[in-house]
Amino acid sequence: MPFYKNKKYLLDCTLRDGGYINDWEFGINNIISIFERLVDANIDFLEIGFIDERRQYDVNRSIFPDTTSIDKTFHNIDKKNTKVVAMIDYGTCDIKYIKDKKDSFIDGIRVIFKKHLRREALTFCEELKKKGYIVFAQLVSTTSYSDDEIKDLADIVNSVEPFAVSIVDTYGLLHRDNLIHYFNILDELLNKKIILGYHAHNNFQMGYANCLSFFQQDTEREILVDGSLYGMGKSAGNAPIELIAMSLNNLYDKKYDIDQILEAIDANVLNFYKSATWGYNMFYFIAALNDCHPNYVRYLMNKKTLSIKSINKILKNISLDKKLMYDKKLIETMYFEYQNNIVDDRKDILELSKVLKDREVILLGPANSIYVEKDKIKKYICENKPIVIAINDIFRDINLDYVFISNSKRYSQMSYKIIDKNCKLIFTSNVTPIERDKNSFLLDYVKLIDEKTDIIDNSLVMFIKVLMEVKTKKVSLAGFDGYYIDKSNYYDKDKEYDFAKKKSKYLNDYTTNFLKTAREKIEINFITKSIYEGMLYENQS
């Protein structure tokens, strides 16, 4: 027998939330198969996709411009005892595209809306009710609501009386205590006949556990949770419906057919998982850890210049009112300000000048030729005795005098190698060393970057600027092949920058033009094959 008095319902959102993975292109066979298997599994509510007037009807996609298109896809399909719903993101579908319920395949519509649109969205919910639908009000990013705002929302909801109201953990921020806090407020304030629901995301691996906690609340109110097949869904994914159904069967004497659910996963969902995985990962954990929009994390991680520690520092400084509303200009500014750690490096430049002035330096870069032409490089070093400086990397079998580090992420990746190599370090001020040796040098990052170009922190350009300032006589380059659009630009593919191939021509032109100007102050020699050398030669001719 059930442990608690309230009725419990399960809603599957695979065809809607799962569509973020494949742009809703499940294919008509998968759409119908998923639908029929979930109906046969006795799922209480089945969400079949979005209604979005901006999209054209495509029989292979679970996103529809109007309710007429839904009827085209699901005509003659038996929904048995399952209630079928679709979702509208408020503002993306005019009421004119929604037929009356009596003329429609679907039974209900779920309306998602952001906090600042709650009044207008609930007026829209009222219009849908008049058309005969059961209506769900979905509170996007419920964690962005203060208690007073939740109370204000409850007053509006009670005046509209939708079929259900759902707590939506858009960014997977909720732990049990936070979830139950929202539950208790809404349970106390909402009219008792309104169903209270919960939609989880799995950033903290809490989706399934939170659903169980939600069901365990001792209330007379009917309650509902969302799940999806194999957790398929946006970002970190959703609570897996197969796990929730299993627990409801075991704990509350429900009769969901787990075999049908597993058949749907095996036959219709796993193929999408292979090509575009979803679920818990570090990216979405970092976003949830900092209570922020995932796009902030994406922007910083795509830079590939910051350590995770640095990324967390930046994210923690985003103001509360901006955390969940992505602002690209804001994060660009914060990134630059974080890197813009101005230091007085005059003493370090003077000391570095004593070492490098009137000497030949060989710079080692991370391109393929660093190993392809390794013997040639080692022979040159042996015969010419230059000072050997690696740029943002450590190389096997080549003895180094110094490593120039301008990239926090690269530093965190190779810090253990630096200890093994026992070489001296030259840092830029945007990098925080684990421990600064007395023989290391710290240089002003801002002075070395070029804010007028797309890629402001080209490490080769930055260090040649240093060499010119300390009056180095000659610099030889090895492992600086230039950028190619059709093949890997690095000996280690894991270090490939996302932008490198897309901007290959720009990067080659920029670096070549810089080297052309730099040759007026310092002799530049190429040890390994390089696009830059070829372009410089062309420019000369």
pLDDT digits (tens, 9 = 90+) for 100-144: 999 999 999 999 999 999 999 999 999 999 999 999 999 999 999
Q: Is there a single domain that holds both residue 378 and residue 397?
A: yes
Q: Is there a single domain that holds both residue 218 and residue 312?
A: no
CA-derived radius of gyration, the chain: 30
CA distance linking residue 209 with residue 56, whole number of Å: 38
Say which residue, 160 or 508, is predicted with more confidence. Answer: 160
Q: Is there a single domain that holds both residue 265 and residue 351?
A: no
Please give the backbone phi and psi of residue 46, each rounded to the nearest 5 degrees, phi first: -130, 120
Helix (H) or strand (E) holding 104: none
Q: Is there a single domain that holds both residue 112 and residue 240?
A: yes
Inside any domain, residue 481: yes
Please give the backbone phi and psi of residue 157, each rounded to the nearest 5 degrees, phi first: -60, -45
**Quick one: pLDDT at residue 526?**
95
Percent of residues, the chain, with pLDDT higher than 70:
93
User: From edge to edge, which strands make up the β-sheet containing 360-364?
Assistant: 441-443, 424-428, 402-405, 387-391, 360-364, 474-478, 523-526
Q: Is there a single domain that holds both residue 424 and residue 302?
A: no
Q: Is there a single domain that holds both residue 325 and residue 467?
A: no
Helix (H) or strand (E) holding 454: none
Q: What is the CATH number of the domain that holds 231?
A: 3.20.20.70
Cβ density class 407-420: b for 16+ within 10 Å, e for less: bbbbbbbbbeebee
Q: Is there a single domain that holds both residue 360 and residue 222?
A: no
Q: Over 70: is that where the pLDDT of 2 sits?
A: no
Inside any domain, residue 284: no
Q: Is there a single domain that holds both residue 76 and residue 162?
A: yes
**Quick one: pLDDT at residue 1?**
29
Inside any domain, residue 281: no
CA distance linking residue 173 with residue 243, whole number of Å: 20
Instruction: State the CB neighbour count (10 A cutoff) for residue 292.
Output: 24
**Quick one: pLDDT at residue 280?**
84
Inside any domain, residue 39: yes
- pLDDT tens for 443-499 read 998 889 888 887 888 999 999 999 999 999 999 999 999 888 777 767 666 566 666
Q: Over 80: is that where the pLDDT of 175 sits?
A: yes
| Closest listed residue to residue 297, CA positions, set 275, 313, 278, 273 | 313
Q: Over 80: is that where the pLDDT of 4 sits?
A: no
Q: Over 60: is that where the pLDDT of 541 sits?
A: no
Inside any domain, residue 405: yes
Read off the pLDDT of each residue in 248-276 and give the average, rounded to a whole number: 91
CA distance linking residue 283 with residue 60, whole number of Å: 30
Inside any domain, residue 152: yes
Q: Is there a single domain that holds both residue 354 and residue 333?
A: no
Q: Is there a single domain that holds both residue 107 and residue 72?
A: yes
Domain residue limits at 296:
290-339
Q: Choose the final residue of a domain: 221, 249, 275.
A: 275
Q: Is there a single domain that holds both residue 88 and residue 71?
A: yes
> Cα dihedral angle (445, 446, 449, 455), rounded to 10 degrees?
100
Inside any domain, residue 282: no
**Quick one: pLDDT at residue 336?**
83
Amino acid found at 32: I
- pLDDT tens for 55-98 read 999 999 999 999 999 999 999 899 999 999 999 999 999 999 99
Q: For residue 184, give the DSSP letter.
A: H
Q: Is there a single domain that holds both residue 166 and residue 142?
A: yes
Percent of residues, the chain, with pLDDT higher than 90:
71
- Could you tell me the end-to-end alpha-carbon distance of the chain, in angstroms, rounded to an integer? 89
CA distance linking residue 311 with residue 317, whole number of Å: 10
Read off the pLDDT of each residue in 296-323 and give the average, rounded to a whole number: 88
The pTM of the full predicted model, rounded to 2 decimals, is 0.70
**Quick one: pLDDT at residue 362?**
97
**Quick one: pLDDT at residue 435?**
59
Q: What is the mean pLDDT of the chain?
A: 90
CA distance linking residue 468 with residue 519, whole number of Å: 10
Inside any domain, residue 2: no
- pLDDT tens for 374-417 read 999 999 999 999 999 999 888 878 889 999 999 887 787 776 56
Per the structure, the count of domains in the chain is 3
